[in-house]
Amino acid sequence: MMRRLYDWVLHWADTPYGIWALFGLAFAESSFFPIPPDVLLIALAIGNPAKAFKFALVCSAGSVLGGWAGYYIGYEFMTGIGQKIVNMYGFGDKVDYIGALYKQYDAWAVTIAGFTPIPYKVFTIAAGMFKIDFLVFTLASTFSRSARFLLVAALIHRFGPGIKGFIDRYFNPLATAFVILLVLGFVLIKYSV
């Protein structure tokens, strides 16, 4: 089933509605859909590298607005819709852990989830459930999602279609390493000043 969904997402790159599909996919993935928008973003950017940054910005906007939908689901409907989405992906046991992260690191938790392969939808729904500050949530989402998608666009714009295999193979470990280095940099600054 996942392969069929993946192929369905990719087919939009060959239609005149690709950019709208990218926005819709980014929106849906931030609150309930399983396929990340990177798949379609990469296909569209490879098809037209000159528009790679435009595609990344559309993807970022869809993702942030979809994050708002996830936040609203968690805020208003956690006992109904939100819980079903969390259970559907088997993340029920992680909700308490995410709650603890939010209490201690609200903006950091959103930023890390927004940039890394951690399922962003779980964090958007949990952000509403635990009622973290909406402005903090929006700023952290905007920063992290934009950084993620603009990085993909920059790689494709700079290196062309040949970079696709590299992104597919190494994006998750590279994103995780980037977040670790970012956090370590802030810790170093905090304790050295």
110-133 pLDDT per residue, tens: 887 887 777 788 889 888 988 889
Measured CA to CA, the distance from residue 137 to residue 13 in angstroms comes to 30
Confidence check: pLDDT of 190 > 60 = no
In total, how many domains does the chain have? 1
Confidence of residue 178 (pLDDT cuts 50, 70, 90): low
Measured CA to CA, the distance from residue 188 to residue 63 in angstroms comes to 31
- pLDDT of the residue at 192: 56
The percent of residues above 90 in pLDDT, for the chain, comes to 28
Taking alpha carbons only, the member of 120, 121, 117, 123 closest to residue 172 is: 117
Confidence of residue 59 (pLDDT cuts 50, 70, 90): very high
- pLDDT of the residue at 184: 65
- pLDDT of the residue at 77: 79
How many Cβ atoms from other residues are within 10 Å of residue 33's Cβ?
17
- pLDDT of the residue at 193: 46
Burial class (CB in 10 A: 0-12, 13-18, 19+), 23: buried
Residue 160 — left, alpha, or beta (φ > 0 → left; ψ -120 to 50 → alpha)? left
- pLDDT of the residue at 71: 94
Measured CA to CA, the distance from residue 185 to residue 168 in angstroms comes to 27
- pLDDT of the residue at 187: 59
- pLDDT of the residue at 170: 72
Does the pTM surpass 0.95? The reply is no
C-alpha distance from residue 133 to each of 11, 127, 192 (Å):
38, 8, 29
- pLDDT of the residue at 175: 67
- Dihedral Cα 82, 113, 111, 142, nearest 10 deg: -60
The percent of residues above 70 in pLDDT, for the chain, comes to 85
Measured CA to CA, the distance from residue 160 to residue 23 in angstroms comes to 22
Q: What is the DSSP letter of 161?
A: G
- The answer to whether the CB of 66 falls within 8 A of the CB of 28 is yes
30 — phi, psi (to 5°)? Answer: -75, -10
Which domain range does residue 127 map to?
2-192
Q: Is 138 helix (H, G, I), strand (E, B) or coil?
A: helix
Taking alpha carbons only, the member of 141, 75, 131, 134 closest to residue 108 is: 141
- pLDDT of the residue at 27: 96
